[in-house]
Structure 1
C-alpha cells in the first residue's frame, strides 16, 4: 500500500472510530437532561447542564497537560484509553447516583482533552499542506454521521412517549455503551506513519520558537496568535446544539406526545447539516482560490438565520422547563424546529472544518499543543455556557451567541490573512 493510501485509510479509520464513540456520547448529551428529569429517585440530584459544565471545565484545564500525555503514550493509546472513559460515563446512566454522575463527569473532562489532542495530532501527521483541508472534511463528515444512529434509535424508541421509564433509560444506555466500546477498539487499526518533513518554515508557528522557549509559554503564544475568539464562538454553539436545543424541543408541549422523540429527530437533522457541510467545504478547500474566509462567513449567516428562527419558534423558558414541559409558545407556530436543527449543523460544520484546516496548516510541525489550545478555548467557553444554561432564558442565550459569533468571525479573518501572508513571504524568501 502506498504511503498516500495508508494515510488516507488512517483518516477513515480515525473518522469511523469517532463516529461510533460519539454516536453514543452525543446522543447521551442530547437526551441526558430530559432523562434526568424523568428519573424517579430521591437519591439522585444531578443536572445534565451542570455535568456538561464540569466536563468542559475540566476539559479546558486538562488541555494544558494533554500534549505531554499524548507525547508519552502516543496518540493511538491516548485515543483508546480516553474512549474507555467515555464508555464508563455513558454506562453510569444505566443506574445513576449523584456521586458517580459528577465523578464520571470529571474523568470524561480529562479524557476529552487527551482524546482531541491525539485526534488533532493524528490528523496532522497523516496530512500534507495540500490534503489537510480534504482530510479535515472527511473526518468531520464521518464524525457527524454519529448524529444519525443514536438519535434515530431515540426517535423510534421514544415515539409517542410523554415519560421516559427506567426500562427505557437502561435499554438506551446499554446499547450506547456497547457502541462506544466498538469505536474505542477501532483505533487499534490505525497504522503508524512518519510525518513528512517540510522544506521551509512555512508550516512552523507564525511566532519564532525562540520567543517561546518553554512548552507552557509556547502554548500561551499559540493561544494568543490563533483565532481564539473563533474558538470561543464554536464552544458556545457546541453547547447549544448538543445539549440545550434538544432539551428545548422536548419541553415544548405544543409538539404533543411526540416532543420527546423529536429530540432524536432534531439530532438527525443537525447531523445532516454537519455531514453536508463537512463533505462539501472540506473537499472544496483544496480547490478554493478564495481561502477559508468565505466558508466561515457562510457559517456566520447560517447561524444567524437559525438563531432568529429559533427565537421566533421556541418558548423563552424552554431550556428551564420541568419534565411536564412549557405551555408557552414563541412568536410563531413551532413548525420550523427541524429546519433550525439543520441550519445549526450546517453552520457549525463551516466553522469547524476551517478551524481544523487552519490549525493543521499553521502548526503542522507541532500540532499537539496547537490542537490542545483550540480545545482549551472551546471547552472553557462550553463549560461557561452549560453553567448559565441552568439560569438564562432562551433569548439571552441566543443573544450571547450572536455577539460572540460575530466577533469570532472577524478574528478568524485576521488569522487567515496572517497565515496566507506568512506563506507568501516564506515562499518568496525560499526563492
Structure 2
C-alpha cells in the first residue's frame, strides 16, 4: 500500500504513532461493512452486484484519491518529506475516513470482478477468477517496485481514470452477459413448454 508509506514518510505525522494501525483498521471495517451491504441489497435489488456496485466502487475510489491528493505531499511515497500538503494535514480521524472509503471502494471492485467472471465464463469460473487475480498481483508487484521513483500524484490521478475506464468496460460486458442470460432463460422456457406439449 502506497498511502501508509506516504503517511509514515511525512514528518508532520511523527507524533501520530498509531496512524498505520488506524488506517488498516479502517480499511478492514470498510470492506466488512460494504460486503454486508452488498449481500443485503443484492437480495432486494435485481443485479445490484453489477452496475450499481461498480459505480459505487468507482466513485469511492475517486473520493479516496482526492482526499489523499489534498492531504499528502507529492514526494511522500519516495522519501521522508517535510513538504506541506495542498489543503490539510493528516489526523487519526482523516486516516480512518480515508481508510474506510478505501475499504468500500476495494470491496465493490473485487465483488464485481467475481460476479463478472462468473457470468462471462459460467463453465470456467475458477479459472477466470484465478487469471484476474494473477494480473492483479502482477500489477501490484510492478507498482511496489516503481513506488520509490513514482510521485504520489501519479496514483491519485491515475486510479480514478482507471476506475472510470474499468466502469465503462464493465457496463459493456455486463450488458452483454445480461442479454446472454435472457436468451438462455427464454430458450430453457421454450424447451420446457415444447416438452410439456409433446407429453400431452
TM score, norm. by length of structure 2: 0.85
- State the match for 2:111 in structure 1: 353
- State the match for 1:318 in structure 2: 76
How many angstroms does 1:290 deviate by?
4.6
| Aligned: 1:374 with 2:93 | no
Give the whole-Å Cα distance in 2 for the aligned partners of 1:365 and 1:282. 23
SS class of match (2:77): helix
The one of 260, 263, 266 equivalent to 2:20 is 263
- State the match for 2:193 in structure 1: none
| Aligned: 1:344 with 2:99 | no
Give the whole-Å Cα distance in 1 for the aligned partners of 2:86 and 2:118. 43
Q: Is the 8 A contact 2:57 2:105 kept in 1?
A: yes
RMSD, aligned α-carbons? 1.7
Unaligned runs of 5+ in 1: 1-242
Report matched runs for 1:18-417 at 5 Å: 243-259=1-17, 261-291=18-48, 292-321=50-79, 325-334=80-89, 335=91, 336-417=94-175
How many angstroms does 1:376 deviate by?
2.6
Q: 1:380 to 1:350 in 2, by over 3 A?
A: same
Give the whole-Å Cα distance in 2 for the aligned partners of 1:357 and 1:409. 14
- State the match for 1:15 in structure 2: none
Give the whole-Å Cα distance in 1 for the aligned partners of 2:109 and 2:163. 10
Aligned residues: 185
Give the whole-Å Cα distance in 1 for the aligned partners of 2:84 and 2:25. 23
Q: Is the 8 A contact 1:253 1:326 kept in 2?
A: yes
Q: Is the 8 A contact 2:19 2:95 kept in 1?
A: no
SS class of match (2:37): helix
How many angstroms does 1:343 deviate by?
0.8
Q: Is the 8 A contact 1:249 1:318 kept in 2?
A: yes
Give the whole-Å Cα distance in 1 for the aligned partners of 2:131 and 2:168. 19
Give the whole-Å Cα distance in 2 for the aligned partners of 1:272 and 1:333. 24
Q: 1:282 to 1:355 in 2, by over 3 A?
A: farther
Unaligned runs of 5+ in 2: 191-200
How many angstroms does 1:394 deviate by?
0.5
Give the whole-Å Cα distance in 1 for the aligned partners of 2:176 and 2:42. 18
Report Cα offsets for 1:76-127 as digits up to 9, x if no partner: xxxxxxxxxxxxxxxxxxxxxxxxxxxxxxxxxxxxxxxxxxxxxxxxxxxx
How many angstroms does 1:413 deviate by?
0.8
Q: Is the 8 A contact 2:61 2:159 kept in 1?
A: no
Give the whole-Å Cα distance in 1 for the aligned partners of 2:112 and 2:155. 25
TM score, norm. by length of structure 1: 0.41
How many angstroms does 1:349 deviate by?
0.8
